[in-house]
């Protein structure tokens, strides 16, 4: 005989066979009970016709049910359409007095629940004016460096993996600089797409006085002399090997590469660059470039060192833009291991000793801890590079309606400031400046 079923009673002590029978009967009984409950509830709420309609809905092909899913997505994205006006109404909370759940809760003289709190952080968040008054970090267009891709062509070329970005002709570049300047962005950095027939292992085109970058610098300075022009110092755009340095027998040479970088930096300074930014990650290059600039009389040209540039997977769209993917292997022998933290402190100490005026962390968002670390360890300003992969992810999500682009982009850029960055290199620079200026 099967044992008596009871929801709170332990199974009787019995043989293995009797216990297995007990389990079988228990499961069957519970399934029957749940099924009966569902059928009764369903038919009671909707009647037999409602039940038939619901059952038929389950039998529909997936394609017929798809619009419902689309509607759900539309409902999720529609929250961005506009604000909901809250109802103006005062509620009576006196009924709660007899139902207070916490020993720390009482009732105020206004018959409303009252916690025994003197410190309430929400008081400082109560209004827009209050939040503005106590805001710890502020984002302005002057914090941005605007990266511009340039090429020696008459027409612009869209960069598919970076929506909104283009390889600019030099005339278009000049217009873009003017538009960014009008929004309060005062700094640009130039990245060239170099023709393949000008690329060599030694990257000689990098210090051609009539190369695309020196010509671009002179054009910007002629029309906008107050604009801060920053240049990238590295061989990869000019390298037939796609690496940041000279390659010999599969090895990226350090000291020989630094010699080429010094010549590149001096050529850019001669053209009028305000800041040079060595992104190559060769050892000793900051001190060597500082000395090379000084001896040629460019003591006022600043250096932003790519101090903590990690061997990241976030650089793909940028390499598409410059057609500078490594010709072989990867860049892990000179860029930093993403697993390392203390190594960034070593790089920062060396760059500071060698004369860096600012230090950059790249990428930005996945390395906010490194930004904070260098901010606390160094006296020079810290820059964050909001790299192409980070930018592309936000663009892709916004295009699909999954994120509010404006809000998420500005929150992301503010996070760099909060982490300790004084300067933010971002492809959103012009658009974010427009948003900050109250434009769409």
Query: pLDDT by residue (tens digit) across 305-334?
Result: 999 999 998 887 877 766 666 767 788 888
Residue 354 DSSP class: H
Write out the E strands in 214-255: 228-233, 247-248, 251-252
Sign of torsion, CA 45 51 56 59? positive
Q: Which residues pair with 145 in a beta bridge?
A: 187, 425
Which run of H or E residues covers position 157? strand 157-158
Is the CB of residue 191 less than 8 Å from the CB of residue 150?
yes
The pTM of the full predicted model, rounded to 2 decimals, is 0.77
- Please check the confidence at residue 255 and state whether its pLDDT lies above 50: yes
Task: Give tens-digit pLDDT for 121-174.
Answer: 999 999 999 998 998 999 999 999 999 999 999 999 998 889 889 999 999 999
Annotated catalytic sites, by residue?
309, 362
Is residue 278 helix, strand or coil? strand
Q: For the CA atoms of 306, 136, 427, 243, what is the dihedral angle to 10 degrees?
A: 10
Q: For the CA atoms of 149, 387, 406, 175, what is the dihedral angle to 10 degrees?
A: -10
Task: Give tens-digit pLDDT for 96-114.
Answer: 998 888 888 999 999 999 9
Is the CB of residue 391 less than 8 Å from the CB of residue 427?
yes
Is residue 129 helix, strand or coil? helix
């Amino acid at each position: 005989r099967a044992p008596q079923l009871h929801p709170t009673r332990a199974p009787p002590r019995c043989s293995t066979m009797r216990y297995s029978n007990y389990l079988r009967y228990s499961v069957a009984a519970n399934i029957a009970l749940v099924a009966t409950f569902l059928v009764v509830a369903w038919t009671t709420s909707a009647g037999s016709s409602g039940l038939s309609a619901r059952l038929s809905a389950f039998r529909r092909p997936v394609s017929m049910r798809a619009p419902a899913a689309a509607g759900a997505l539309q409902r999720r994205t529609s929250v961005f359409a506009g604000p909901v006006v809250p109802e103006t109404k005062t509620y009576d909370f006196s009924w709660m007095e007899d139902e207070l759940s916490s020993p720390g809760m009482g009732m105020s003289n206004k018959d409303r629940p009252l916690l025994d709190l003197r410190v309430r952080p929400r008081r400082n968040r109560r209004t827009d004016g209050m939040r503005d008054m106590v805001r710890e970090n502020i984002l302005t267009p002057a914090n941005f460096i605007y990266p511009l891709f340039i090429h020696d062509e008459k027409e612009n070329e869209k960069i598919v993996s970076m929506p909104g970005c283009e390889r600019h002709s030099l005339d278009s570049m000049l217009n873009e600089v003017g538009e960014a300047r009008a929004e309060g962005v005062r700094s640009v950095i130039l990245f060239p797409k170099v023709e393949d027939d000008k690329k060599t292992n030694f990257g000689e085109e990098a210090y051609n006085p009539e190369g695309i970058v020196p010509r671009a610098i002179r054009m910007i300075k002629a029309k906008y002399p107050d604009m801060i022009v920053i240049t990238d110092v590295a061989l990869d755009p000019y390298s037939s090997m796609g690496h940041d340095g000279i390659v010999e027998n599969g090895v990226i040479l350090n000291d020989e590469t630094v010699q080429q970088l010094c010549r590149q930096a001096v050529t850019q300074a001669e053209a009028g660059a305000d800041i040079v930014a060595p992104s190559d990650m060769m050892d000793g290059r900051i001190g060597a470039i500082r000395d090379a600039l000084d001896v040629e009389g460019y003591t006022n040209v600043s250096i932003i060192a790519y101090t903590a540039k990690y061997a990241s997977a976030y650089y793909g769209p940028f390499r598409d833009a410059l057609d500078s993917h490594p010709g072989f292997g990867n860049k892990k022998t000179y860029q930093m291991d993403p697993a390392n933290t203390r190594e960034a402190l070593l790089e920062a100490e060396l760059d500071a000793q060698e004369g860096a005026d600012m230090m950059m962390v790249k990428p930005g968002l996945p390395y906010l801890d490194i930004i904070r670390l260098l901010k606390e360890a160094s006296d020079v300003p810290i820059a964050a590079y909001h790299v192409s992969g980070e930018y592309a992810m936000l663009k892709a999500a916004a295009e699909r309606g999954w994120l509010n682009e404006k809000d998420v982009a500005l929150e992301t850029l503010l996070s760099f400031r909060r982490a300790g960055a004084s300067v933010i290199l971002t492809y959103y620079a012009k658009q974010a400046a427009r948003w900050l200026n109250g434009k769409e």
